[in-house]
Amino acid sequence: MATITTKDGTRIFFKDWGAKDAQPIVFSHGWPLSADAWDAQMVFFAAHGFRTIAHDRRSHGRSDQVWDNNNMDQYADDLAELITALDLKDAILVGHSTGGGEVTRYVGRHGTDRVAKIALIGAVPPLMLKTEANPGGLPLEVFDGIRKGTFDNRSQFFKDLTIPFYGYNRPGAVVSEGIREGFWLQGMMGGLKGQLDSIRAFSESDFHADLKRFDKPTLVLHGDDDQIVPIGASALATAKLVPHAELKVYAGADHGLTQTHQDRFNADLLAFIKG
């Protein structure tokens, strides 16, 4: 397996597909998944002439399961170490859900010298948690429920989570048991401690200051029926904070739209990258 070892000794697994001299696209996955969530996009974009890279976040997938440092700053620093280790330049950063937070915090902490464009897909910025300053966010009780479900019986919780994640509880939805089982498998590869820590990372991290550092073309893409990361306090707010951001809303789409709307999403991301 291809890995890098970070400054704190954590091994991070990554995939690196396509021509090594092509423009790189770096994909950051959501919770509690792994780089495998991006396989279809990696194959699609590699076939279109790009170098495609995706890593397993620390304590997720095939990366080391660590007790400490499962937080958004460290996730961003791990991404920076990967980009530096592979000497990526003119990169397109694509982050889904928690991965969108990782990409955003990367820009906040490391800038955009190696970045050409950014795409935030169903992403958690600017802040998921409801506070006095963020009344449109979700109450802390929602995330406490995710913590409890993950701790008590994460295998069952991950299976149940696929229903709202992919909008399978909506009238007329065509349920894919394969997609559900793939989600469960990726989730069960990760470490419980890191996954629990990550809930705080994706729900309580405030990305307002990070978004103010965005100075590259940015795509903000979200489903307006996202039951995991509601669009109002996320994509709609982010699009107002990032200068000249391109906001694309999929009517009726769910949180897992990179799979449920795979062909449309791939085409739209390709158009943004080439535009």
Task: Over range 27-51, report the average pLDDT.
Answer: 98
Mind listing the pLDDT tens digit for each residue in 239-266? 999 999 999 999 999 999 999 999 999 9
Give the three-class secondary structure for 222: strand
CA distance 48 to 118: 18
The overall longest dimension of the chain from CA atoms, in Å, is 49
Contact partners, residue 132, CB within 8 Å, separation at least 6:
none
> 14 and 3 in contact (C-beta within 8 Å)?
yes
Q: Which of 28, 97, 198, 234 is catalytic?
A: 97
CA distance 85 to 81: 6
Q: Which of 29, 96, 255, 261 is catalytic?
A: 255
Helix H or strand E segment including 72: helix 72-85
- The answer to whether 97 is a known catalytic residue is yes
* Element counts in the chain: helices (H) and strands (E): 10, 8
Domain ranges of the chain: 3-274
- The answer to whether 87 is a known catalytic residue is no
Pairing mode, strands 218-223 and 115-121 = parallel
pLDDT at 1 over 90: no
Token couple for 130: 């409801």
Task: Over range 165-171, report the average pLDDT.
Answer: 98
Q: Which amino acid is at 264?
A: R
Contact partners, residue 35, CB within 8 Å, separation at least 6:
13, 14, 15, 27, 29, 54, 55, 56, 61
Mind listing the pLDDT tens digit for each residue in 53-111? 999 999 999 999 999 999 999 999 999 999 999 999 999 999 999 999 999 999 999 99
Task: Over range 138-156, report the average pLDDT.
Answer: 98
pTM score, whole prediction: 0.98
Place of tokens 């396989």: 39
Q: Is the dihedral of CA 100, 104, 105, 111 positive or negative?
A: positive
Place of tokens 């009344």: 135
Query: Residue 18: its pLDDT value, please?
Result: 98
Q: Which of 226, 234, 254, 261 is catalytic?
A: 226
Query: Residue 134: its pLDDT value, please?
Result: 94
Architecture of domain 3-274: 3-Layer(aba) Sandwich (3.40)
Token couple for 118: 């950014």
- The answer to whether 226 is a known catalytic residue is yes
Task: Over range 119-144, report the average pLDDT.
Answer: 97
